[in-house]
């Protein structure tokens, strides 16, 4: 799973989050200049933090379970964008917990608090970050399942094992080692020193190996057809 942290999808997603955060910090400084004060209802902050905690509490366990399931089924897959969504939600969780107690300490039981800038600018900035990071996480969530996941796994086909269960097999390329084929495709229906045969139900895939035990060709056999 650690290799997902250095893939482009994760790095780009986190980079967008950093730029978004920097934009909100800049905007907070521009719209809340030094020396100004503002009275705000505690409910404004309470609504933001409680909504954020609800969203994170519902989505995060589900996404962690989905991410773990996908990775265990296909370790070679690209789940970096989904991993970025999980990381962003945990950042939102930290911000929401901090804001909850910080506002309670600032309010001291009052329903309205007075914010003095720049000392209290962090409260306004944290609210902007809560909403923006959640919105970004939801956009990335939709992008992963609607665009990224179908596109990167489009070449995979469902294949049958001897027990009749359908498995999602990632594509392998010429040059892949025998051990890697066995790791990602599992045990073959039959094997020789120079080939591995997998059943797809209506046809068979024969993975031919060279002298160095690397894939030299992949042949599909079935209904009188042979293709490489």
110-149 confidence digits (pLDDT tens): 778 787 778 778 888 888 888 888 889 989 989 888 888 7
Mean pLDDT of 69-74: 81
Please name every residue paired with 198 in a beta bridge, in sequence order, or none if there are none. 205
Which pLDDT score is estimated for 162? 41
What is d(CA 81, CA 5) in angstroms, rounded to the nearest whole number? 9
Q: What average pLDDT is seen over the chain?
A: 80
Structure tokens given for 7: 């893939």
Percent of the chain with pLDDT over 90: 9
What is d(CA 157, CA 167) in angstroms, rounded to the nearest whole number? 8
pLDDT above 50 (res 91)? yes
Sheet strand arrangement including 225-227: 190-192, 195-199, 204-209, 215-222, 225-227
User: CB-based contacts of 30: which residues, under 8 Å, 6+ apart?
Assistant: none
Which pLDDT score is estimated for 163? 41
- 224 falls in which pLDDT band (50, 70, 90)? very low
Q: What DSSP line would sit under the chain, residue for residue? A: -GGGGGSHHHHHHHHHHHHHHHHHHHHHHHHS-TT-EEEEEHHHHHHHHHHHHHHHHHHHHHHHHHHHHHHHH-TTS--HHHHHHHHHHHHHHHHHHHHHHHHHHHHTT-SEEEEETTTTHHHHHHHHHHHHHHHHHHHHHHHIIIIIHHHHTTT-EEEE-TT--EEEE----TT-BHHHHHHHH-S-SEEETTEEEEE-SSSEEEEEE-TTSBEEEEEEEETTEEE-
**Cα dist from 215 to 13, 74, 100, 184, 206, whole Å:** 35, 19, 57, 14, 10
Please name every residue paired with 37 in a beta bridge, in sequence order, or none if there are none. 116
Which pLDDT score is estimated for 164? 35
> 109 versus 93: which is more confidently predicted?
93
Which pLDDT score is estimated for 2? 77
40-55 confidence digits (pLDDT tens): 778 888 888 888 888 8
Sign of the torsion angle spanned by Cα atoms 7, 68, 61, 94: negative
Which pLDDT score is estimated for 153? 60
pLDDT above 50 (res 166)? no
pLDDT above 60 (res 159)? no
pLDDT above 70 (res 227)? no
Listed range (17-21, 93-97, 154-158, 168-172) with the worst mean pLDDT = 154-158
139-152 confidence digits (pLDDT tens): 998 988 888 877 76
- 15 falls in which pLDDT band (50, 70, 90)? very high
pLDDT above 70 (res 168)? no
- 209 falls in which pLDDT band (50, 70, 90)? very high
């Amino acid at each position: 799973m650690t290799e997902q942290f250095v893939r482009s999808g994760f790095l780009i997603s986190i980079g967008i989050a950093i730029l978004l955060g920097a934009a909100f910090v800049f905007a907070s400084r521009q719209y809340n200049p030094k020396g100004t004060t503002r009275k705000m209802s505690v409910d404004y902050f309470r609504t933001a933090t409680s909504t954020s905690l609800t969203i994170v509490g519902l989505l995060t366990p589900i996404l962690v379970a989905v991410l773990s399931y996908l990775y265990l089924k296909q370790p070679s897959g690209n789940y970096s964008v989904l991993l970025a969504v999980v990381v962003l939600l945990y950042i939102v969780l930290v911000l929401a917990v901090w804001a909850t107690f910080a506002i309670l300490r600032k309010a001291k039981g009052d329903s309205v608090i007075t914010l003095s800038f720049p000392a209290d600018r962090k409260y306004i900035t944290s609210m902007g970050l809560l909403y923006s990071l959640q919105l970004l996480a939801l956009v990335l969530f939709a992008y992963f399942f609607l665009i990224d996941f179908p596109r990167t796994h489009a070449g995979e086909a469902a294949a049958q094992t001897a027990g009749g269960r359908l498995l999602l097999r990632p594509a392998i390329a010429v040059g892949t080692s025998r051990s890697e084929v066995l790791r990602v495709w599992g045990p073959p229906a039959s094997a020789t020193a120079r080939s591995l045969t997998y059943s797809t139900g209506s046809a068979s895939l024969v993975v031919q190996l060279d002298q160095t035990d690397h894939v030299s060709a992949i042949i599909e056999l079935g209904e009188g057809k042979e293709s490489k």
